[in-house]
Amino acid sequence: MASKDQTGSGALLADLHAISCALKAFASTTAAEGLEGDNYMLTQQVARYLLKAARGVLAGKPSKSDISQVLRRFIERRDVGNAFDVLSDDQDLVDAFGWRVAYLTLEALRHRDEDKRAWNSLLVDFWRLSTAFAQYLVVKTFLEALRDPATQASLDQETQVLLHKQFQLFALSHLTTHATEFFACAAATVRQLELARTKRTLALLGELRPHAVRLVDAWQFSDWALDSSLGRYDGKVYEDMFHRASELNPSTTSSSTLTPSRPPCLGGDTTTEQQHN
């Protein structure tokens, strides 16, 4: 990044900082379905970066960053609107996420600069803005990776098709989850959102379901790392659940009868256990 910043202004480093903050907050929240203590601090940093970028665009001094170009296009077309084919065109789907980021950025900027609202009163708005920015980055990068010649050369056609369907499912799932924001900024119509929720995402789930095990196994997570009955490589789900409930659960076994744990259904001499019990 630093080698690409020929101006020496550090603009690309600011881009990298905002991107890493947004993705860190988004990824940890997505994984845990909760709020890490510092996530609101991170999202404020993202909001500060985006508001600064918007002020630069409005002042006629945009940076060369991707988000400045997204904001510029939004400002040029917000009075005439934009028609995104989010159901059939991958690039339109990505652009709809960018349009939403621009809309939320300028809304937050209006609250801050024109309405003179206190910074702390906008923390929820900043959280939504940072989340939108992170989602835009992910779907944009996902599509770029799928279109990369190196990716296409290294993967067979079937794998490329499956990854493309995963891209669509990921993007459309987040689009429908945040449907009100996409509708409010006119990035998607009610009918598009309805079809995405009731038709397209369900169809993609059905198409991906037969490949779900292979897609997960491709990560090569070990049984030890997963520590999951449902995720066992040998498929012995019920045997492992029984083993955990009966032999590894201290609430069902007293300390005097608790035996060392062993893999379930591997046979072995049980005489000692029977005599002890």
Q: What is the pLDDT of residue 141?
A: 97
Q: What is the mean pLDDT of the chain?
A: 86
Report whether pLDDT(271) > 50. Answer: no
Which pLDDT score is estimated for 32? 64
CA gap 101, 128 in Å, rounded? 9
177/211 Cα distance (integer angstroms): 24
pLDDT (tens digit, 9 = 90+) per residue, 23-39?
Answer: 888 887 766 655 555 66
Q: What's the token pair of residue 29?
A: 């929240």
Q: Is the pLDDT of residue 17 over 70?
A: yes
Give the separation between CA 34 and CA 163, rounded to whole angstroms: 27
Burial class (CB in 10 A: 0-12, 13-18, 19+), 269: exposed
Exposure letters 138-173 (e unless 16+ CB within 10 A, then b): bbbebbeebeeeeeeeeeeeeeeebbebbbbbebbe
Pick the range with the lowest mean pLDDT from 29-33, 91-95, 220-224, 268-272.
268-272
- CA of 269: how far to CAs of 13, 259, 273, 277, in Å? 63, 13, 9, 14
Tokens, residue 122: 């906008």
Higher pLDDT, 140 or 236: 140
Q: What is the pTM of this model?
A: 0.75
Nearest residue to 21 (alpha-carbon basis) of 129, 172, 139? 129
Q: Do you know the residue count of the chain?
A: 277
For the segment 227-250, the average pLDDT, to the nearest whole number, is 87
The pLDDT tens digits for 151-207 are 999 999 999 999 999 999 999 999 999 999 999 999 999 999 999 999 999 999 999
Q: What region does 5 belong to: left with phi over 0, alpha with psi -120 to 50, or beta?
A: beta
- Cβ contacts of 170 within 8 Å, gap of 6 or more: 138, 139, 142
Higher pLDDT among residues 189 and 83, named by residue:
189
Contact (Cβ atoms closer than 8 angstroms) between residue 24 and residue 36: no
Higher pLDDT, 169 or 79: 169
User: Which tokens in the block code for residue 184?
Assistant: 């409010």
pLDDT value of residue 225: 87
Q: Is 80 exceeded by the pLDDT of residue 269?
A: no
Confidence of residue 118 (pLDDT cuts 50, 70, 90): very high
pLDDT at 256 over 80: no
For residue 59, give the amino acid letter.
A
User: What is the per-residue pLDDT for 22?
Assistant: 86
Cα R_g (the chain), whole angstroms: 25
pLDDT band of 267, cuts 50, 70, 90: very low
Lowest average pLDDT, out of 22-26, 56-60, 105-109, 186-190, goes to: 22-26
pLDDT of residue 166: 97
Among 100, 41, 47, 45, residue whose Cα is nearest residue 74:
100
Would you tell me how many other CB atoms lie within 10 Å of the CB of residue 194? Answer: 13
Q: What is the pLDDT of residue 259?
A: 47
In percent, the amount of the chain with pLDDT more than 70 equals 83
